Amino acid sequence: MELTPVRTDITKLKVDAVVNAANPSLMGGGGVDGAIHRAGGPDILAECGAIIDRIGRCEPGQAVITHAGRLPARFVIHTVGPVWRGGGEGEEHVLACCYQASLQLCFENGLRSVAFPNISTGIYGYPKQAAAKTAIETIKAAAVCDQMEAIFLCCFDWENFQIYQELLRVE
């Protein structure tokens, strides 16, 4: 399995699944969530609505999967990251759960390539360095990665891209 940081817009990536940093309503929002729904079109939101009708809300650390509408990817995995509240409220555990739950859905659906955004490091305010460390450690420790061909760490901003490059270089 290759773990590769890329600096791009996640909506452009032709992978089996892109991960969305959503909120518990799954009804869209700003940041990467807004970009995915804008580029992917209304079918994604309709599927999210059907899921919410079934489960009520998507809790932080959980993940669900929909088709990807007009995106080049085949599926979108929607996960809800933790809101950063200083680090003492289980944020690291919840963030790790986002990566684990998303990879589990890849495994269950036989997907072989996935791109993650830097979950929680935008509107939810998680410190970028700490989030990157948790992301890398969690992905590397996940047994389900064995079936994956490629995992992309999709960075929108240069700061995150540099952090990931640095962390992966020293490991």
Catalytic sites, residue numbers: 33
Question: Rounded distance, CA 96 to CA 65, Å?
Answer: 18
Residue keyed to tokens 């990807």: 68
Mask of contacts with ligand AR6, 149-168, x by CB under 6 A?
A: -----x-xx--x--------
Rounded distance between C-alpha atoms, residue 28 and residue 45, angstroms? 7
> Could you say which of 75, 124, 152, 161 contacts ligand AR6 (CB under 6 A)?
124
Helix (H) or strand (E) holding 22: strand 17-22
- If one asks whether residue 135 binds ligand AR6 (CB under 6 A), the answer comes out as no
| Identity at 121, one-letter amino acid code | T
* By CB under 6 A, residue 121 contacts ligand AR6: yes
Cα(96)–Cα(115) distance, integer angstroms: 16
Q: Does 120 bind ligand AR6 (CB under 6 A)?
A: yes
Could you say whether residue 31 binds ligand AR6 (CB under 6 A)? Answer: yes
**Tokens describing residue 142:** 């996940």
Q: 59 or 143, CB closer to ligand AR6?
A: 59
41 binds ligand AR6 per the rule CB under 6 A: no
Query: Measured in Å, how far apart are the chain's first and last C-alpha atoms?
Result: 15
| Closest to ligand AR6 by CB, 87 or 147 | 87
Contact residues: ligand AR6, CB under 6 A: 9-11, 21-23, 29-33, 35, 81, 117-124, 154, 156-157, 160
